[in-house]
Chain A
Amino acid sequence: MTSLYLRNVPRILSQASAKQYQCLYAAQGARNFHSTASNNNTTGAIERPDTRTKCTLIPGDGVGPELLNSVIEVFRAASVPVDFETYFFSEVNPTLSAPLNDVVASISRNRVCLKGILASPDASYSGELQTLNMKLRTSLDLYANVVHVKSLPGVKTRHENIDCVIIREQTEGEYSALEHESVTGVVECLKIVTAKKSERIAKFAFDYATKNNRKKVTAVHKANIMKLGDGLFLRSCEEIAKLYPKIEFEKMIVDNCTMQMVSKPQQFDVMVMPNLYGNIVDNIGSGLVGGAGVVSGASYSADTVVFEPGARHTFSEAVGKNVANPTAMLLCSAKLLNHINLGAYGSMIRNSVDQVLKDAKVRTKDIGGQASTQEFTRAIIANLKPIN
């Protein structure tokens, strides 16, 4: 392992410095996820070894620490100018967990965070209804979750050419943590929908579509049953859609949507939906393109972004077995680099992941291979090529 680094580091360093200026002009593929300036067809790249960016790192539960270790190794090999501020944060391991306030302060200071998945136990130890994940999201106001479901080269799945973006409101709706038992045996669980947050998420979806040259936005709802709650969400989406005459707007009921997702997923472009539906559709989407190990996601507030895998599974049964797939986490890190104006590094990692998957020689068990996490990471490092 170490010898591989030693072989790679000087090569990458020398190439990177020689091509530094060309890198800056590097053109990017038209639909690269969240490239900083996709409307301009240019990367937002600036390579300055002396200006390093700080980023909060939350390894999370289950295989999270192993996956993030893989990211750190790749960053080191590519000499990415990012420093991590690591916090162990966990709900199932409360004694070791960093306080919520410290983590929130760090993320709001750094503006970016790379995060593994936090396990949410079924039973609450403290009697609180809010999970740690929900607390983190509400304190940072991370209202928009974006999962880009895209077929990966060389990963065999039932459907091909899927390219849709699932945008989920994640600060209200069913996840309000407002439950009570008024009479024994009768539990009421409140679903909160507000016009302000619905308009905000709808506008986020349309702005996302505008920025990434997408053509259509589908609002997913269940307004035929929840006429007031989902009705408000749907009306807010319709209002905002009027401001975007160049983007097609479409409505779909959530049950039909899930069926369409598994039968004809290519019809979807950008989808926007309330909290719980988003959770379900995210998982369907991830299942369609290769599972929880290959889909990346991001949560946005006005000021901060938290990059995390798209389908939230800790894969705790695989802890220490060296079999987890780091693809999702690596794609997250590539998106993170694009977001902080290090697009050249982001594309470098992304291309390497694409290349390794396409070659299909080194792949982890979940997508039909035999390789370990470590072998996969090494293959990614060996395929890092500076862009020109």
Chain B
Amino acid sequence: MAARIFMKRPLELGKTFRKASTNLSAFEIQHKSPLVKKQQKIPVALYGGRHAVTMLPGSGIGPELMAYVRDVFRYAGAPVDFETININPNTDESDDLIHAITSIKRNGVAIKGNIETKSEDTEVQSRNVAIRNELDLFINVLNCKSYPGVKCRQSNIDIVIIRQNTEGEYAMLEHESVHGVVESMKIVTQSNSERVARWAFEYAKRHGRKKVTIVHKANIMKLSDGLFLETSRRIAKEYPEIEHNDMIIDNCCMQLVSNPHQFDVMIMTNLYGSIVSNVICGLIGGAGLLSGRNYGDHYAVFEPGTRNTGTAIAGKNIANPIAMLNASVDMLEHLGHQQHADMIQQAIVKTICEDNIQTPDLGGHHSSSDVVQRVIDHIVHSDRTW
């Protein structure tokens, strides 16, 4: 690969190397030496009870979904001000990206759609991954809970997937040592595995969960997944009140589609997390329902659970707004506006479960704006006791 780049752009490569050696960005340091990062503390953006939150609409259906979120917040009276930043997917420049990352650092919290990286240049990193790494968002949590009114293959599912979000297969360290042979590195560190496992068990304890399942492939990747498994088991000993077991990823996928009710909390490395969360989303109603949360020690980013751009359905008014609305509910909960969060949550449940106002992806025949309008109607007529 290096040879290919060199042949394509012999002059620029030297420049890049020089730049990298003299002036490593925080991202480069993180991804070349995958250690726990020290973040500098910045005062929280909370003024007079109103939070400032970064909004990254992303591409595809992102912008329209964000418009719905703003509408709903307006009617709910949620004390949140958005700072919207658009990232141009067509350029290779990272100015917008850096601006977005600084903005999240300033505000502490962000809500985002999927950000597209169109460039196939090897030097341009995936922007979603860059945001996660730069902010050290080492946890991704997906709370998979069935909606009773949505027709799907499995009902009554309630699984929490906790995924390592910054290393593993997503280290983006690939090279072509010999022509025709590409090596891709999977990085597993003890410190990161420990953080994830501890976070997961603490989460289970806090939310009264009974069991934690560690998902791995340590029979093949004995060292890397072995380290993850071993670390998780060690942490599990500190939480005797919570049951734990482990399962190999391939078996896990089969169990998920045949008997998903055996799972409670699951922890896994990056790529497995991506696959498993998509499997479960498919089981309970598709990409348009669930929201995911990314946490680091200092920052939190909220987004739809499965990271799909939805370019094909953009602008057609058929995209399911529920996932993004759920992400906004998670965000309100994180900011401590529990009452507003509950109000929006109940409006969503009433809309899709009781009124059966659903978009085509759930088998309904309503448009996105119908769903949002009904959610708003419920909010306007809900009781506000505070």
Hey, which chain B residues are within 8 Å of A304, CB to CB? 48-49
Q: Which residue of B lies closest to A52 (CB)?
A: B384
Q: Does B44 contact A (CB under 8 A)?
A: yes
B77 touching A341, Cβ below 8 Å:
yes
A302 touching B46, Cβ below 8 Å:
yes
CA distance A144 to B75 in the complex (A): 28
Q: Classify the interface of chain B: helix, strand, loop or mixed.
A: mixed
Q: Which residue of A lies closest to B70 (CB)?
A: A40
Say whether, besides A44-B77, A245-B102, A341-B77, A37 and B48 are in contact (CB < 8 Å).
no
Hey, which chain A residues are within 8 Å of B75, CB to CB? 24, 46
Hey, which chain A residues are within 8 Å of B42, CB to CB? 203, 243
Say whether, besides A36-B81, A245-B99, A200 and B70 are in contact (CB < 8 Å).
no
Q: Does B174 contact A (CB under 8 A)?
A: no
Say whether, besides A46-B74, A200-B43, A243-B102, A40 and B82 are in contact (CB < 8 Å).
yes
A211 touching B81, Cβ below 8 Å:
yes
Q: B74: which of A37, A203, A301, A302 is its contact (CB, 8 Å)?
A: A37
Hey, which chain B residues are within 8 Å of A246, CB to CB? 99
Q: Which residue of A lies closest to B71 (CB)?
A: A42
- Contacting A at CB under 8 A, from B65-116, are 70, 73-77, 79, 81-84, 99, 102, 105-106
Hey, which chain B residues are within 8 Å of A340, CB to CB? 77
User: What is the size category of the interface that chain A forms with chain B?
Assistant: 35 or more
A45 touching B74, Cβ below 8 Å:
yes
B84 touching A40, Cβ below 8 Å:
yes
Question: Chain A's nearest CB lies how many Å from the CB of B91?
Answer: 17
- Contacting B at CB under 8 A, from A329-350, are 339-341
Q: Does A51 contact B (CB under 8 A)?
A: yes
Q: Does A303 contact B (CB under 8 A)?
A: yes
Q: Does A305 contact B (CB under 8 A)?
A: yes
Residues 342-386 of chain B, each 1 if its beta carbon lies under 8 Å from chain A, else 0: 000000000000000000000000000000000000001000100
A243 touching B105, Cβ below 8 Å:
yes
Hey, which chain A residues are within 8 Å of B81, CB to CB? 36-37, 39, 211
A24 touching B43, Cβ below 8 Å:
no
CA distance A161 to B216 in the complex (A): 66
Hey, which chain A residues are within 8 Å of B70, CB to CB? 37, 40, 42
A42 touching B45, Cβ below 8 Å:
no
Question: Chain A's nearest CB lies how many Å from the CB of B146?
Answer: 32
Q: Does B205 contact A (CB under 8 A)?
A: no
Q: Does B47 contact A (CB under 8 A)?
A: yes
Question: Chain A's nearest CB lies how many Å from the CB of B117?
Answer: 21
Q: A111: which of B49, B76, B84 is its contact (CB, 8 Å)?
A: B49
B52 touching A211, Cβ below 8 Å:
yes
CA distance A211 to B105 in the complex (A): 16
Q: A37: which of B44, B47, B82, B99 is its contact (CB, 8 Å)?
A: B82
Other than the given A39-B83, A305-B49, A339-B48, 8 more pairs (CB < 8 A) read A24-B74, A36-B81, A43-B74, A44-B74, A46-B77, A199-B43, A300-B47, A304-B49
Sampled A-B contacts (20; CB under 8 Å): A24-B74, A37-B74, A39-B81, A40-B82, A42-B74, A43-B74, A44-B73, A46-B76, A48-B384, A111-B48, A203-B106, A207-B45, A243-B106, A298-B48, A302-B44, A302-B47, A302-B48, A305-B47, A339-B50, A341-B77
> Which residues of A are at the interface with B, using a C-beta cutoff of 8 A?
24, 36-37, 39-40, 42-46, 48, 51, 111-112, 144, 199-200, 203-204, 206-208, 210-211, 243-246, 298, 300-305, 339-341
